[in-house]
Structure 1
């Protein structure tokens, strides 16, 4: 009965999304205030119904209702309760229900927090979001129903959740990632609403910026959590593999980053209007492309859902409808919007434009590397592989260029800056970056390495440029504390985001060149010398978990003085239901290094294949991502986004403009 309630709630939600897509939009056309006002209660109802459906599915998992096919395929009576709950989004049907719930949540947030905006604009935005929900819910109902029954032949027990997903990372990674993916639908809706109204101005950019920034922050955390999960769960010891599904989340992040900076220019200076709208469309389109790649069955990846072609065709059709329709509207309306504001070569506008170009080129190259093997296989039948060498050939250089532009862009003025004055501002930052980067790059035992030197110079350049900008903003203040209080949260958020980017670069460079790895046979008592530490294999013992049995090894790690640094306990698990073997790495984490040990296969006589890693500064990669996301949250909390900027007269004027457009 609970499953039927959930299914019925989804059907009602689909009907409400249809009404939401039509009625408020018709209200803007017919100038019916009551119809436009229906957007908020419809958004509340849509979210409430999908929340009921989500809770119903969770109840089926918690009570082991194996008459529900999705529960039977992804759970088991021995599965611990936390993993039964996270199994809701552990496979395709439930994860897409979570996607639909989050889409409804973003729609509700727009309805609640956009009270100061023109009614016509809000009505159009909510209708566009409702139209997106129509597509999502149609896909859920017609191809991916998570409430389908197995009656009358329900199994006694379930197949169990994929052992790879029985991990804390699954609990938090997909929700964060989906919040970012779906969140970009809001700025897409604002962009389409602005095109429909013919009003691409600074106000539109100001309304869109907080929604873009918070979605970008969620996606940043989601990508970082996915990297962290793959690092410790898969037993490979790597943090990024240029997997096609990893690329599917990285591309909208890159375009979202470009969109945030472009929105800043449009709000501050009223330029790049058409380009900003295009970026909004492209970012959401890439989010939908990611859903297609993951759920269509065209990819073979540890991150992908194995699905039938029917689902892929449905998503592809929806993707073509969204992208084709929005680009057609863009082609019709964007040329009429022209920017009359001028700026010089040495201005913040120019630097942010170059920033956008670099990010767009990076996205395009990743898109080619991701889709080309699929197109080649579809056209010729031959399987091709585009791996890390392709991406590593161009991506580091583009990120270095981006970092150099970042250091200049935060200090240059809007509209115009004198070149000699700019050089005077930044000469000490540049000199300090070169000197400190050179000094630090020769400290390591491996000696001077060009890529490490470039990375350190870039990181120090970003930090010193930020300090230089802060110094020039405070030097005329009567007191340091008063000057710091005058600076806005968005200013601090900007610098925090840039520092997070620098920390990420630092982690990537140092772990890529200073990490060490050994794969070897180890019997009890065998030792390995690595990075000044001694790893001693003490043997294995049998341990039992709630739904698995495991061989657990013990590795004692000592330093040069013979003192015990840590003891590591990697496991080789066999899950009882699916009879699959899983590697559980043991990690001793630290800011400057991780000690990482994973068991391979038993080699007889108590010996095992053992993989030992010394991962230098790998934690900086995820720390930097979290700092970037925190910078985004600080920027959204700026009081100018909470201030009621649109007074009644302005709102009436705006509504008149939108109504007659």
Structure 2
């Protein structure tokens, strides 16, 4: 009965999405306030119905209702409760329900918090959100219904993919979807503005918080996915240029450019058409990621489905959304008034260069990801992997980070670069110190490692140099500087944190990419292996039983000379229902490095195991820096000036004698 309620709720949600996607548009074009107001209750109702469907599907997984096909294929009665719940979105059908929860939730949030948005624009934004919801709900109900019954019901299920039976599944996809779907609001604002023919600083101010939410969520989702792959797959790395990893990176790059472009619209009433185009393309790239994991065009540990029919349906949805919006852009872009002009050397110019570099980086990743798929369709097989991306990326990342450090010091409209650069003297000095440290610790080769260390220090120090400049640190009494710091807008602190977090993450990427130590060998119980100044000893290997798996667990002791550093356990698990092996890496982490061990297969004589050992310098900084970036985004979002629907407080005018006389 409960699954039928969930199915019925999806049908009702579709009807509400149709209402949300039609009546407000008609009302906005005719000036009918009552019809425009329909958008709010329709958005709330759609969110409520999809939430009800999600609860019904979760209930089916929790109680192991094996009369539902999706539960049979992705659950088992012995599976721990955490993975029963997270298994709701660990499959194609359930993940679409979660996607729709996010999409309808954003629509309801715009309806609730967009109080300062003009009624016509708000109606059109919610109308576009409703149309996107119609497309996905139709796709779900016609091709991916999560409430399909099976009669007779089997006694048990097929279990969830063992790679997904990890706490990472509980957090990584929700944050990733929150980012993907969050950019739908930017898309809706762009389409609504094009229909209305109005893009101005107020529009940029309304847009920016939604982009910030999506960007911070996607940043967290990507970081969690990277960490998950690092410790779960046992490959010893954090990024592999997998096509689906690239599919999440591309909207992040475009979304970062969109975030900076929206700042220029808000502050200087410029870059309007570019901001509109970036809003469309960022959401298009999010939809493309959805297509890649559900179309069957690639094989990946991230892929949800291999049904070409579903892939075709998503491709049609992608073409309708993107093609329609680009057609609208071509028809209406000329009506947008040109904003303020600026010199190439200015803060606007730095943001334009920043956006160009981000956009080109996105195009490079897009070409490297899609080219093998396109050529394969014509019978030509090629492989585009890490060498391609690793070769091109530095040429774009180096100038991007250099400009990121200089840009905040430049004034709007026109700047004197010669007067600005000396203010970055301390940041430049600390950058040189970082390069010299890397040279002393690791030698002159590889040269790119020294460049990377310098860029990381430049990004970090430059972020706080701008804050130091604003509070006049060491130029006025310390108490006055602290008072200035306390009165700085939260947005300024958020920007500094986000830029500093990127610097920290870059340092982690450089450390683990260039200074990694690795040892792969056969070890027997009692064997010792030296690595990076540490000694790994395989103490024992024992067979244990988990809730729904059996495991070989290897215990390693790590010593630094005679000092005990840690005792860690690496596992190789066998899931009998899924008939699949997984590895569980053993990791001892400190703030400056990771010691990492993976237990592989037994040797043919049964006396030893293939063991992979790694020393990852600075790798924790990748995820620490990502968290700092997210905190920077959230801190900026908490700034009253950026909160949707909250008017900025203005100081009351001073009532002096002249004013009183005038009255």
**Residues 116, 477 of structure 1: CA spacing in aligned structure 2 closer, same or farther, 3 A cutoff?**
farther
Structure 2 partner of 1:452: 449
Matches within 5 A, 1:516-535: 516-535=517-536
Q: Which secondary structure does the structure 1 equivalent of 2:594 belong to?
A: strand
Q: Deviations over 1:623-656 (max 9, x none)?
A: 1111111111111111113464499xxxxxxxxx
Which of 384, 390, 393 is 1:392 aligned to? Answer: 390
- Contact 1:477–1:483, Cα closer than 8 Å, also in 2: no
Structure 2 partner of 1:342: 341
Structure 2 partner of 1:149: 149
- Measure, in 2, the Cα distance between the counterparts of 1:340 and 1:147: 51
Structure 1 partner of 2:564: 564
Long gaps (5+) in structure 2: 650-663
- Contact 1:116–1:646, Cα closer than 8 Å, also in 2: no
TM-score (norm 1): 0.95
- Contact 2:463–2:497, Cα closer than 8 Å, also in 1: no
Q: Which secondary structure does the structure 2 equivalent of 1:542 belong to?
A: strand
**Displacement of 1:331:** 0.6
Q: Name the stretch that deviates more: 613-622 or 246-255.
A: 613-622
Structure 1 partner of 2:610: 609
- Contact 1:571–1:599, Cα closer than 8 Å, also in 2: yes
Structure 2 partner of 1:404: 402
- Measure, in 2, the Cα distance between the counterparts of 1:432 and 1:570: 40
- Measure, in 2, the Cα distance between the counterparts of 1:172 and 1:230: 13
- Contact 1:17–1:131, Cα closer than 8 Å, also in 2: yes
Structure 1 partner of 2:589: 589
Structure 2 partner of 1:168: 167
- Measure, in 1, the Cα distance between the counterparts of 2:429 and 2:172: 41
- Measure, in 2, the Cα distance between the counterparts of 1:88 and 1:340: 48
Q: Name the stretch that deviates more: 103-112 or 632-641.
A: 632-641
- Contact 1:13–1:50, Cα closer than 8 Å, also in 2: yes
**Displacement of 1:50:** 0.5
- Measure, in 1, the Cα distance between the counterparts of 2:442 and 2:7: 62
- Measure, in 2, the Cα distance between the counterparts of 1:622 and 1:440: 22
**Residues 447, 539 of structure 1: CA spacing in aligned structure 2 closer, same or farther, 3 A cutoff?**
farther
Q: Which secondary structure does the structure 1 equivalent of 2:44 belong to?
A: helix
**Residues 445, 405 of structure 1: CA spacing in aligned structure 2 closer, same or farther, 3 A cutoff?**
closer
**Residues 340, 209 of structure 1: CA spacing in aligned structure 2 closer, same or farther, 3 A cutoff?**
closer
Structure 2 partner of 1:365: 364
**Displacement of 1:439:** 2.0
Structure 2 partner of 1:659: none
Structure 2 partner of 1:443: 440
- Contact 2:467–2:496, Cα closer than 8 Å, also in 1: no
- Measure, in 1, the Cα distance between the counterparts of 2:417 and 2:380: 54
Q: Name the stretch that deviates more: 442-451 or 482-491.
A: 442-451
Which of 402, 423, 426 is 2:424 aligned to? Answer: 426
Q: Which secondary structure does the structure 2 equivalent of 1:536 belong to?
A: strand
- Measure, in 1, the Cα distance between the counterparts of 2:624 and 2:496: 15
Structure 2 partner of 1:549: 550
Corresponding position: 1:487 with 2:484: no
**Displacement of 1:31:** 1.3
Corresponding position: 1:513 with 2:522: no
Long gaps (5+) in structure 1: 648-661
- Contact 1:346–1:416, Cα closer than 8 Å, also in 2: yes
Structure 1 partner of 2:187: 188
- Contact 2:640–2:648, Cα closer than 8 Å, also in 1: no
Q: Deviations over 1:514-548 (max 9, x none)?
A: 11111100011111000111111113111110011
**Displacement of 1:249:** 0.5
- Measure, in 2, the Cα distance between the counterparts of 1:408 and 1:4: 59
Structure 2 partner of 1:200: 199
TM-score (norm 2): 0.95
Q: Cα RMSD (Å) of the superposition?
A: 1.4
**Displacement of 1:348:** 0.4
Q: Deviations over 1:219-266 (max 9, x none)?
A: 000000000000111011110000000000000000000000000011
- Measure, in 2, the Cα distance between the counterparts of 1:446 and 1:565: 26
Q: Deviations over 1:600-644 (max 9, x none)?
A: 110134310001111111111111111111111111111113464
- Measure, in 1, the Cα distance between the counterparts of 2:426 and 2:537: 49
Structure 1 partner of 2:265: 266
**Displacement of 1:38:** 1.2
**Displacement of 1:396:** 2.0
**Residues 437, 481 of structure 1: CA spacing in aligned structure 2 closer, same or farther, 3 A cutoff?**
closer
Which of 465, 471, 477 is 2:462 aligned to? Answer: 465
**Displacement of 1:418:** 1.6
Structure 2 partner of 1:652: none
- Measure, in 2, the Cα distance between the counterparts of 1:365 and 1:438: 28
Structure 2 partner of 1:504: 505
- Contact 1:117–1:646, Cα closer than 8 Å, also in 2: no
- Measure, in 2, the Cα distance between the counterparts of 1:82 and 1:118: 44
Q: Which secondary structure does the structure 2 equivalent of 1:444 belong to?
A: helix
**Displacement of 1:576:** 2.4
- Measure, in 2, the Cα distance between the counterparts of 1:102 and 1:566: 42
